[in-house]
Amino acid sequence: MSVLRNTSPRSPRQRYVWPEKALSLVRSTRTPKKDGAVVVKLQEITRYPKKVCWRLAERHGFRRPHFRREWSREDIEQILKMCESDRPVTEIAEYFDTTIKTIHQKIIKNGKKVGRNGSIYTVSLISSVLRVTRPIVRQWAAESKLELKSELRGSITVEFAEDGEFERFCRKNHNYLIYEVGGRIAPRERIQFLKEFVMAAEMPDDHTPAATSASAKPTPGR
């Protein structure tokens, strides 16, 4: 069944072609890996936006020179709200000018701690964190491995797994997800996600300031 969307269509994402001079710059082992100067040079070579140049640099091991970002509760709430709206993780990372890995970590460590309704793991998000296609996620539902629910959010019907159900699925199918999906060993990102999600979901988030004390819990709606 097709779902009519009243929202304006998104413009296709621009593709950036990197000249060999730019690629040689980020591949050089002589260039410091924690130096924003490389991004300035990339901008001079390509005239591309700063955040685009940082994405290329980070893919080759460069790190931003400033200290770790402090994430507010409002930031975390916004991340989870965007997940619930079925926004792609890549788009969320771009919105916050950070990496996909960082967004995954925020979802893992905060998804169960903010009094939400347990519905952030949409088909889109599951496919992203487990590095599989959406049809595979829906196939798991058809095979009764994963229970998906549907909900109308605005003008969009979103399919999702409740947090507890997604955690159960990951725990029960841990070996399957690592060794059998696609007939090969899972990519490093999926293994890392499973390790953090299944084994460390309740660990405190060191990047988000505590409210009043280490044991203080967020109050829903604040």
| Residue 172: strand, helix, or coil | helix
- Per-residue pLDDT of the chain in tens (222 residues, 90 and over written 9): 444 444 445 555 678 889 999 998 888 766 666 667 888 899 999 999 988 898 888 888 787 766 467 788 888 888 888 887 777 788 888 888 887 778 877 877 776 544 445 567 888 888 888 889 999 999 999 999 999 988 887 777 888 888 788 888 998 998 899 998 878 888 888 888 888 777 654 444 444 444 333 444 444 444
Q: Which among 107, 108, 55 is positioned nearest to 81, based on CA atoms?
A: 107
Residue type, 37: A
Q: What gap in Å lies between CA 125 and CA 121, rounded to an integer?
A: 6
Q: What gap in Å lies between CA 194 and CA 197, rounded to an integer?
A: 5
Q: What gap in Å lies between CA 124 and CA 139, rounded to an integer?
A: 14
| Residue 177: strand, helix, or coil | helix
The answer to whether the pTM exceeds 0.75 is no
As beta bridge partners, residue 161 has 121
Q: What gap in Å lies between CA 32 and CA 92, rounded to an integer?
A: 28
